[in-house]
Amino acid sequence: MAKVKEMDRPKRRVTPGGVTLSFVTVVAIILFLLPIVWGLAVSLKQEGMGISNVVDWFLPPYTLDNYPTILTNSNVWVWFKNSMIVAIINTVVTLIVTPLAAYAIAKIKFKGNNMWYLYFMLGLMIPVEAMIIPLFLTANKLNLLDTYAGLILPSIAVSMNLIIMVSFMKSVPDELIEAAKIDGAGHFRSFFSVVLPLSKTVMVTIAIFAFTGSWNNYLWPLLASMNAEMFTLPVGIPTFAGTYTVDYVMPMTANMVASLPMIILFIIFERYIVKGVSTTGLKG
């Protein structure tokens, strides 16, 4: 029976296009993984070792002492804590505000709701650099500089997250919401009982986008934090090499400390990212 089943299986045809695609995929994987592998290898080297060629970076001896050293003898742990606080709060608030705003635009008929949607879409066309000066002046007048609130609040209203959520909610059949209204449900009850349970995959996708965007944000934290105690990792690490060492090892260890949470996050939630983007799309 097993032989019969194996014979019944259709054989995969090997085509030049398939071979080329596989080759390009393998090359792309190597190009993306090589910097990570190199960074990890450097972070495990002993500080001050002589390097005569590229291969020496990957050869033993290795040590794990760099990681506890960098977390206890520098501000990296403080910057890591700041990044985590800002990213987590930003993600939680985004998951509260974005779905509610998206539901209002997608499912509540009011005068100007399409204009609001267009307004947020136009936000994608304005570079962040163009908003930095008015944003800085506003934060300064509100005494938000060098505070967690100043680091978090400007990152909550992200047009892309809202557009993804609106696009998904527009695909939810209006009949489901109307059926809930017949049972006496208002907009809030319809949102929490009908729309929100259907939005789990998109919510995970938006949470990942919000967390990674906040974690990797450099320009605004650089301007909004004057004190080194309020630096996040992207702001603090560039100052690390000149302040603590002139060697490659410790700065690369700091970079791996900053990168590991993102690598772990992607490994765990990779299927949600792909599924969320493929199922939502950006429909008009």
- Coil, helix or strand at residue 278: helix
How many CA atoms are closer than 13 Å to the CA of 9, on its beta-carbon side?
8
- Is pTM, for the whole model, over 0.85? no
- Report the length, in residues, of the chain: 284
Single-letter code of the amino acid located at 114: N
Q: How many angstroms separate the Cα of 181 from the Cα of each of 131, 188, 189? A: 41, 10, 9
User: In the structure encoding, which two tokens stand for residue 237, read together?
Assistant: 């690490």
Tokens read off for 19: 């071979």
CA distance 145 to 222: 11
pLDDT of residue 125: 82
- Give mean pLDDT in consecutive 10-residue pieces for the chain, a chain of 284 residues: 52 75 89 87 80 76 86 88 94 92 84 78 80 90 92 85 86 76 71 83 87 90 89 86 65 86 81 62 44
From residue 29, give the alpha-carbon distance in Å to each of 75, 117, 267.
33, 37, 14
Query: Tell me, what's the pLDDT at 283?
Result: 42
Q: Are 66 and 253 in contact (CB under 8 A)?
A: yes
DSSP string, 57-70: GGSSP--STHHHHH
71-280: CATH number: 1.10.3720.10
Tell me whether the omega of the peptide bond preceding residue 61 falls within 30 degrees of 0, making it cis: yes
Distance CA 103, CA 116 (A): 12
Helix 76-107 with 113-122: angle, nearest 10 deg: 150
Residue spans of the domains in the chain: they are 2-58, 71-280
Per-residue pLDDT, 269: 77
Q: What is the pLDDT of residue 228?
A: 86
CA dist., res. 283 & res. 142, Å (int) = 38
